[in-house]
Structure 1
Amino acid sequence: MSQDNVSNTNDNHERDDHKRRPRKKRKNFLANAKKYAKKGQMGRGTKIPEELYQYFVGILDAMKQGIEDKDERTALVNNVLERTKGEEQNVIGNQLGCRVVELLLPFASPEDLERYMEVLSPDLRRLCSDNFTSHVVETLLRAACERATEHLQTGEDNSSDSDEEEAPKKKKAKLEPKPEKKYDEDHIKKCYEFTIKISKYALNNLEDFVWDQYANHILRSVLKCLSGITLLPGEKPKVNIFKDSIDDGKGIPPHTGKMVYKTVPDEFKQIVKEFVHRLTSWPQFKDLPYQNITSGLVQVLLYAIKNVDKNLTKELLRQLLDESFAPEGWVNNGTDDKKEVKDGEGVAVDTSNLPPVFESEPAVRMLEAALFVSKKKTYTQIYARCFINRLGQLACMPMLNYTVQRLIDNCQVKEEFEPMFDELSDRMSALLACGNTGVLVALAKACLRLKAKQAQYLNSLEAALDCSSAEHQKYFPVLCLRLLPRERVDLAALDKDYFIHVHGSVILQAVLDFQRPAKAVSGLLELTGDQLLIIMCDAKGCHVADAFCKGQFVGVKARDKLIWRLKGYYQKLALSQYGSRALEQVFQVASLEQKIKIMTELSDKSNLLNSTQYGRLIASKLEVDTFKLSQKKWEETWKKKEVVNK
């Protein structure tokens, strides 16, 4: 997880006040639509009758409430799209009408979807560049592509991580039957042809569409559809206003190590290759990373070609590296006009030795995408040309520390990670001071993933937190959770509520999974029950219990000691939202004898458990009522459960 960088060091460390930035109030589309109607304005864009406008407002209202019954949903979709018959162009040119149609098209009947394909096809040039209708074209493309390729999906994990040589073997070993076709052959064929048509139209108008703020996003959608991209790193799924119980609303975290692609036909992949050939032949290709709109497009192109052609991916990355990121013989433009950049310790950072890519945020974001899609050899070239001997200064800079995180996240070779670690290990104090603690998280995860430099990481972090001495080592877990050096923490008040840093929690979880987590384990076991309660009842701290209980190198005796240390606090844990999570983890690793002691404690005041919804859930999951009635019956039931789970 990344953290907002704060330039003022003193402000950055005032974390104990539990202060949060006020969130911006999200614009409520439906409320605004109603407000416009009261003023007599029927939305922006083309004009639609007031009766139709009010009808769409009512439809959005009904959708917002949630329509979980499939028959009701189908009826609503059919009725609304039928109402737009003959007025499709006018409706989608209106802000409200566009929104309604955009939401309903993925659920449209074959007849309605085909009708919209036919109506929109003759006027694509204008529609693709319009601020409202372009969204409908995108949705129509995605819906058509989804239906055209749905029958090709086998349910296999089509991961971008797997090597080319191993992929065929896996497919042969686990060949799952193709799903039944939801639509007839004729509709699938029309969807396929429409996808090809839009894609080739976009390709033929590439020179104009690249610079258009609306058509540019159609190009991106075309590339995603043709290459089988489900979600980009850091992207969240576009949640439809209909309540969908299947969609968990989770996206792909930006520090993910792989992407999952859908299976797509070869003809789709061929068009993606044409996009690459066309764009890379432009004289101005080297400048594309340096503008927001074009950088975003080329980033999608990088993710798309990764699933299409391994050699073409390598060529594209090499061209970007040679012409844009760090051209041979590049010379800095001079530092006179540049703002002075200071690191976490207030020392001015010399930016004159940084390649051109680091001068532009759009280019930096593309560099991160390049790191993600590159294979080992190309990754090494990017590291050598852009990062080597510069990691310390990059990691302490507000914008560029995220790029260092992506570099570390995508490192797959132990021997390559070790010099990276050596460059950064003595900068941990500066990273803490400037708030760029995401770099510390990336280092901890890499140490764990590559099984390298774990002891050195612990020593460097202890030094940065000022708890290296024997008498202060016991404070390591608490200082790590707060990500504050010892002199900034009131060690006498550890049994009072305090702010736990999300990065500190993730780092401690990784450390507990190291091959030698003794310092973290012993430090946690030194804490009193009250101090452990504060950690485990916190939204971020409760996950430490997961790592402690599941850590493969955390000993059984240590877990037993933790269970004993929490004696008398299980009731309080059960009543807390996050404490109940931690209680479940502890309960799972407890022996039967320990489970009975925990259950005895919970059942003593079982009425208290019903005072909170989390207490009721715990009472239900652990079957507290059964335990109160008959301990023997509860033991028999629980033994059967454990046998089934094994």
Structure 2
Amino acid sequence: MQPKEPREKKGGKRTLTPSEGEGGAGDDQRKRRNRGGTEEQGGEAPGPGGRPPRGPGGKPRDGAWKGLEATSVGYFRRVGDRLGEGFEDDEERVMFVENVLTEVKGKAKVVATDKTGSATLQKLMALASLDQAVSCDRAGGHVVEGALRQMPRWTESPEDSEASALETQVLSLSAAVRRDPAAFVTHMYGSHVVRTLLHVLAGCVAPPRADTRTGAGVKGRPGAAPPLTNYEAPVSFWYEFRSLTEALITHINVSVTETVASMVFQVMLTVAHRNRPKLCKKLLAGVIEYLGSRSAAPGTSPLLVFLKDHASSRLLEVVFQLSSKPLLRLLYQDHLRGHLVDLSLHKIANFPVQRLVAASASHKMFPKVFDELNEGVEAILAAGHMGVIVQLAESCAEGGEKQGELMQHLLSAFHCDEPATRHACCLPLFLSLLTYEVYYTAETEGGAINTEIPLSSICYHGSLLVQAMARFKDRSLLMSSLRALTPADLAALGVDPTGSHVMQALLAVSSDKGRGKILRRLEGQLVQIACSRTGSRLLEAAWNNASVSQRESIATELAPSETRLRTDQYARHVWSKFALSHFVTRRPRWKEIQTEESKKRKLFNDIIA
């Protein structure tokens, strides 16, 4: 590949060519020969003479470098570096992008399938105008995805011809997928293009995969779906989306057990539910009809087999989440009734059960689902599938039903229901997911069980379980158990990464009187908590809900430790937010300000309520 000499802008920087740059490509090649190294080309080292690696019979191996010369690789690496530096004005940016795309035109497939070229083209798409994006051919999964994500900009384009050109290219790509859906959805890289295409046609766009991997814009629990952004899609996209989904659903037989294809169907159902709910109902019915019509053992629903498959179980999770009340009730009655405990004990099927429990929380069928699972709570705990138990508690909290029954079954499962004196130990047991006998293993000299064991072994699912139960109508057992902890245990709970969320949840739902009792138990521990990363956040949350007298008590304990708090990387934020400098020097005025803030907060809460 020998690019042409680029044009130059007066007073600006020239576009790089393969023969330019620091040292030049010729120097790069000599350096590689001298040190015996190889240039990275599409993820593999080239063979002798710069040719791609050869497999048996002298044929290039699959996935080998597909043709970019060493000079071109260096060129695109320097282009990527230049893009990262930014531009002084739009004119310079437009000229640079135009020159680079001119060099790429006609060779996009070779560039897009090279590791370095693909990364550079992805950066280029965000800067290119719409007609420039159209000038790149369809090749290289990441590059095509980058081009598709530019579609939301079509409404901002001053040139209708540009928008029309890109719209035509998107429709052309969709038509190519419709001609051979199976080849696209079962391909590792092609499936990503189809997923992005479905988003664009449905009128919503997800963030680039690079952003989701680094966590940008994705909040909440790990694994949470990235947020989608709606845009005004052309009318032609709505019709094409329906045609594409119809083509995909006809090939569900070859896709339902394929992991990458299953993810395409999950995206299809999700975006349809978001922007085309009527079409989504039709698609859901088609998926259930196919899965329910497969052959299985006599008297057994074929859905039970698919629920235990890695790929199809993920698809069924989405089906449960998006199903309407009648469809969800039909699924339970015809396929799942009487099998929920067995499915909950399976290493894969327990995840769809969690989605079913979550989806049925506000439905009339939830008591039936709860009663069936409630019989196997102890077995599910023994299997270690805590996600089912946590989701059961969250659904009880959401729907307001079966809360007392679940609490009693959990007390029984952790062996702290009888005698009643064991109720005060329930919180440490729930947090550690250990039974009473296992947690309190040490005995005193008289042979009695020692209940003065420091709080330890706080686990993630135990924290989630208690946070869910903190939303129950009757949480007296949890609050009594919390107040029974020693000050040292309360401090340990407050500075623990998972335990601090429990403390925050229980403080948030406590009355002013109950919150005051807990804060008094923490006297002498507040400085230690403030100097912790998680504890400082807990203290700020407690401060936001505290009364003026409670705030004054907190400030009174923290103020004498000014030097330690102001020099600690976490506690210094507490010192600043609580205005403790003001508290030390002008305490009456500080109290007036806190009283005014308390009145405003109460008024605001009353308006919301």
Same fold (TM over 0.5): yes
Q: What is the rounded CA distance, in whole Å, between the counterparts of 1:615 and 1:47 in structure 2?
A: 57
Q: What percent identity do the matched residue pairs reach?
A: 24
1:204 paired residue number = 179
SS in 2 for 1:466: coil
Higher-RCO chain (CA-CA 8 Å, sequence separation at least 6): 1
Aligned residue number for residue 288 of structure 1: 255
How has the CA–CA distance of structure 1 residues 263 and 487 changed in structure 2, closer, same or farther, with 3 Å as cutoff?
farther
Q: Please tell me whether the aligned partners of residues 103 and 240 of structure 1 are also in contact (alpha carbons under 8 angstroms).
A: no
Q: Please name the residue that 2:142 is paired with.
A: 135
- 2:489 corresponds in structure 1 to 531
Instruction: Summarize deviations over 1:102-123 as a string: whole Å, max 9, x none.
Output: 13412x131xx42241231xxx
Contact 2:152 2:232 (C-alpha < 8 Å) held by counterparts: no
Aligned residue among 319, 324, 327 for 2:286: 319
Partner of residue 147 from structure 1, selected from 145, 153, 171: 153
Quick one: structure 1 residues 502 and 557, their matched pair in 2 at CA, closer, same or farther if it must change by over 3 Å? same
Count of matched residue pairs: 537
Matched, 1:270 2:239: yes
Alignment RMSD (CA, Å) = 3.5
* Residue equivalent to 1:40: 38
Q: Aligned partner of 1:410: which letter?
A: A
Can you list the C-alpha shifts for 1:474-531, whole angstroms capped at 9, x where unaligned? Answer: 1111111111111221375866462311111111111111111111111101111110
Question: Are the aligned partners of 1:396 and 1:434 in contact in 2 as well (CA < 8 Å)?
Answer: yes
Distance (whole Å) between structure 2 residues aligned to residue 626 and residue 424 of structure 1 = 56
For the Cα contact (< 8 Å) 2:152–2:233, is it kept in 1?
A: no
User: Could you give the per-residue CA deviations for residues 106-154 of structure 1, whole angstroms, max 9, x where no partner exists?
Assistant: 2x131xx42241231xxx4xx2xxxxx12211211122x2213xx5xxx
Kindly state the Cα deviation for residue 92 of structure 1 after the two structures are TM-superposed: 2.2
Please report how far the alpha carbon of residue 367 of structure 1 lies from its aligned counterpart in structure 2 after TM superposition: 1.0
- Counterpart secondary structure, 2:263: helix
In structure 2, distance between residues paired with 1:642 and 1:291: 57
Q: Match for 1:250: what amino acid?
A: K
| Mapped partners of 1:205, 1:352: distance in 2 | 31
Q: Which residue of 2 aligns with 1:490?
A: 440
2:340·2:353 contact (CA, 8 Å) conserved in 1?
yes
Provide the rounded CA distance (Å) in 1 between the counterparts of 2:554 and 2:597: 18
Note the C-alpha offset of 1:587.
1.5
Go from structure 1 to structure 2 and tell me whether the alpha carbon gap of 1:544 and 1:117 turns closer, same or farther (over 3 Å shift).
Answer: same
Matched, 1:222 2:197: yes
Distance 1:412 1:237, change over 3 A: farther
- Equivalent residues of 2:459, 2:498 under 8 A apart: yes
Matches within 5 A, 1:24-423: 39-44=37-42, 45-50=65-70, 52-54=72-74, 56-57=76-77, 79=96, 82-83=99-100, 85-88=102-105, 89=108, 90-106=110-126, 108-110=127-129, 113-120=130-137, 124=138, 127=139, 133-143=140-150, 145-148=151-154, 151=155, 181=156, 184-206=159-181, 208-231=183-206, 238-240=209-211, 247-250=216-219, 262-280=231-249, 282=250, 285-324=252-291, 326-327=292-293, 330-332=295-297, 355-423=304-372
Give the SS at the match of 1:367: helix
CA contact (8 A) 1:394 1:401 kept: yes
* Deviation of the 1:307 alpha carbon: 3.5
- What letter matches 2:561 in structure 1? K
The code of the aligned residue for 1:621 comes to K
Contact 1:414/1:452, CA 8 A, preserved across alignment: no
Residues 261, 533 of structure 1: alpha-carbon distance in 2 compared, 3 angstrom cutoff: same
For 1:490 and 1:641, locate their aligned partners in 2 and report how far apart those are by CA, in whole Å: 45
Cα gap change, 1:512/1:59 in structure 2, threshold over 3 Å: closer, same or farther? farther
Deviation at 1:86, TM superposition (A): 1.4
> In the aligned structure 1, how far is the partner of 2:344 from the partner of 2:228?
26
Query: Unaligned regions of 5+ residues in structure 2, if any?
Result: 1-30, 43-64, 442-449, 605-609
Q: Is the 8 A contact 1:257 1:410 kept in 2?
A: no
1:624 to 577, 580, 597: 580
TM-superposed CA distance for 1:62, in Å, is: 8.1
- Using the size of structure 1 for normalisation, the TM-score is 0.75
Structure 1 stretches lacking a partner, 5+ long: 1-33, 128-132, 152-180, 335-350
C-alpha deviation, 1:72, in angstroms: 8.7
- Per the TM alignment, residue 574 of structure 1 is displaced from its structure 2 partner at its CA by 0.5
Cα deviation 1:548-596 (Å, max 9, x = unaligned): 2222xx3332111111111111111100001111111222222212211
- The CA deviation string for residues 616-645 of structure 1, in whole angstroms up to 9 with x for no partner, is 111111112121111123223334444555
TM-score, L = length of structure 2: 0.79
Q: Are the structure 2 counterparts of residues 640 and 49 from structure 1 closer, same or farther at C-alpha, using a change threshold of 3 Å? A: farther
* Cα distance in 2, alignment partners of residues 608 and 495 from structure 1: 30
In the alignment, does 2:420 pair up with 1:468? no
Larger radius of gyration: 2
The CA distance in 2 between the partners of 1:568 and 1:35, in whole Å, is 65
Residue 293 of structure 2 aligns with an amino acid whose one-letter code is P
